[in-house]
Amino acid sequence: MYNTSTSECGGIGRPSRLKICRVMRTGSIPVTRTNFGVTMISCSPSRNTFQKENYIKRCAESGKKPNKAYIKMFEEANINKMDKEQDPAWQQNNMEYDLRTSDFMLAKVRSSESYSQNLYAAMCNRTFQKNEVWATLKNQTWSCSWRYAGGIIADMRVQGDYMDWYCSGIGGVIGGGSESSPEIEAAILARKNYVAESVVTDEIRADLFRLGWIVKDDTDHDFV
């Protein structure tokens, strides 16, 4: 989940007769086209499929037939997600929207696995604020869960789902679990240029500032 904290909320609703369609070009990222122009929001075709696919797999292993209503619930969740992302109120003061529509951030994420992991890690257990006077005065902030952060990276890379990044900064997961020593785990993380969850590298901090966001040094919450 993601959280947008603000004392006020508002925005312009989408016109009821506005037509929206999903457009794909070869070698491009998904595009949302409206009557008023084109808004490109990077997204992964596999986003939010992990739970659905594992449910179907578990049913097959147990010899049970998947519940169609349960599968439909997952599919409708994706449709609702795409619809929500067209709402100006969702796009406002939303670091996810800014990340998924930023050309320079998308280019860096798609060209580097370690950069992708570092950005994921930075979003974990952290609170962010737009570098604007109004956002500061209203104390508007943005934060998200570890799973949601992984999903954002998947969308930015246009592939995979949140599980490709979830807990990627925990040495025990990468290094082989409890049998690995802290020294071995740290060495593996360093070799991959991965960092632990909540660590914000200088490069990520600078890029987020360029994007218009600052990292608030608030680690009091733990949205795993």
Would you mind telling me the total number of residues written for the chain in this entry?
A: 224
Check residue 44 and give its pLDDT.
Answer: 86
Check residue 15 and give its pLDDT.
Answer: 33
Check residue 68 and give its pLDDT.
Answer: 78
Check residue 127 and give its pLDDT.
Answer: 96
Beta strands 37-39 and 141-144, pairing class: unpaired
Instruction: Map out the domains of the chain as residue ranges.
Output: 98-213
Helix 103-111 vs helix 146-157: crossing angle, to nearest 10: 90
Check residue 148 and give its pLDDT.
Answer: 95
Residue 59, judged by CB atoms within 10 A of its CB (0-12, 13-18, 19+), counts as middle
Residues of the chain with pLDDT under 70: 1-39, 48-51, 54, 70, 171-181, 184-185, 218-224
Check residue 190 and give its pLDDT.
Answer: 72
* pTM, two decimal places: 0.69
Distances (CA, A) of 165 to 33, 93, 196: 29, 24, 12
Check residue 163 and give its pLDDT.
Answer: 92
Check residue 143 and give its pLDDT.
Answer: 96
Distance, in Å, from the CA atom of 75 to the CA atom of 70, rounded to the nearest integer, reads 9
